[in-house]
Structure 1
Amino acid sequence: MKIAVVAANGKAGQLIVKEALDRGHQVTAIVRSENKTAATSVLQKDIHELTKEDLAGFDVVVSAFGAWTPETLPQHTSTLQVLTKALAGSSTRLFVVGGAGSLYLDEGRSLRLMEAPDFPAAYLPIAEAMAKGLDFLRTVTDLNWVYVSPAADFQDAGEKTGHYILAGEVFTLNSKGESVISYVDFALALVDEIEANRFNQERISVLQA
């Protein structure tokens, strides 16, 4: 497949590029600055300036965008607005690297992880910003999108186990009572779902088995 990875220079982006390349896909890195990946080709452009023409011809676009400072947190929504507008009505699928804070704690979906009393206050702003991005994405009906939430403990230095649990909207623990996944196993799971093409306009989640 022809896959574009937006924000390919980030930790998750670089590993998604590598995983897709290792499987023989053609991968274009879309980056704002000098490319740090081994992608097949490169488009150097700010995500907010991407157009329909820039994204034409790809089977899948992956947004690995992340923002962490108070002034940039709203970009978790604005970047998705740009991407969904550019892809609207096309056959290109959009995969979004999401967050865990918006996962629900009950099947009735009455309480989210970030609303729990023991949720770390330091992570609340980013969790709320990413949740707003997901809320916006749920309003998009003219595009095949998949929002992929990692486990609560998303480890950038974790090892590749090759094993993971695919879950849905509800916060899930493994047999050890943990919610953890490495960036590299997350990349594995995401590319698996790109290839499987099982979900449309849904949020899924992944954690280490």
Structure 2
Amino acid sequence: MSAIKMAVVAANGRAGSKIVAEAVNRGIEVTAIVRHQKESPAQHTLIKDLFELTTEDVQDFDVLVDAFGTFTLENLPEHMVSIKHLTDILSHVSTRLLIVGGAGSLYTDKDHRQQLKDSADFPKEALPLARIMSQTLEQLRLRDDVRWTYVSPAANFLADGPRTGHYLLRGEEYSTNSKGESSISYADYAIGLVDEALSGEHIHQRISLIGQ
């Protein structure tokens, strides 16, 4: 077993379940934080709503992964509310917060004035989610009292894509691989996120992951 202790919020979701599986396979002690009991490879389960979590619930973990997501228009503000709650309960706590972020806020220029969501060909149906997640990231950047890392996926985030075992680590700017593609499977994204959980190399930073 790795010495690290990790908890995953929304561990039953598509991203959360991949992260839990990857972490457990890597020898990490994982607690699934879920609203409803469901079969999971996690060694421990905490049944509790995200918005009811307290500092006492999370302060003993080395890493808390926020894999919460909602996609219905009326619930999109919950992204901002959830991050506010998690950062509040982790204020001045040593536990690191890793957030499953979005790609729409990746910058498309060197001056960091234009984001992917501002592109003419950005899918209109994805704009509301991209906007709220971009606003959430900007609020997160103000929190120097929390050891956060925001992990953006590639533009094409493939829920059912294969686990190739490879990914490319990038920073704030939108990028593509050698094939000119910006895509990554949830499974390969989970590898990169768990690597970051183990290394802790990008505190107070946004990183991005793309498939090779």
TM-score by length of 1: 0.98
- Say whether residues 1:145 and 2:148 are aligned partners: yes
Q: Deviations over 1:19-42 (max 9, x none)?
A: 111111110000011234211111
**Aligned residues, how many?**
209
1:50 to 53, 69, 75: 53
Gaps of at least 5 residues in structure 1 are: none
Q: 1:25 — aligned with what?
A: 28
Runs of 4+ displaced beyond 4 Å: none
Report the AA paired with residue 139 of structure 1.
Answer: L
- The answer to whether the 8 Å contact 1:62/1:95 transfers is yes
- 1:1-209 aligned at under 5 Å gives the runs 1-209=4-212
DSSP-derived class of the 2:131 partner? helix
1:189, distance to aligned residue in structure 2 (A): 0.5
- The answer to whether the 8 Å contact 1:179/1:208 transfers is yes
Give identity over the alignment, percent: 50
- The answer to whether the 8 Å contact 2:59/2:94 transfers is no
RMSD value over aligned CA atoms? 0.8
- The answer to whether the 8 Å contact 1:29/1:35 transfers is no
DSSP-derived class of the 2:75 partner? coil
Q: Distance in 2 between matches of 1:63 and 1:153?
A: 20
TM-score by length of 2: 0.97
Query: Closer, same or farther in 2 for the Cα pair 1:155/1:60, shift >3 Å?
Result: same
1:71, distance to aligned residue in structure 2 (A): 1.4
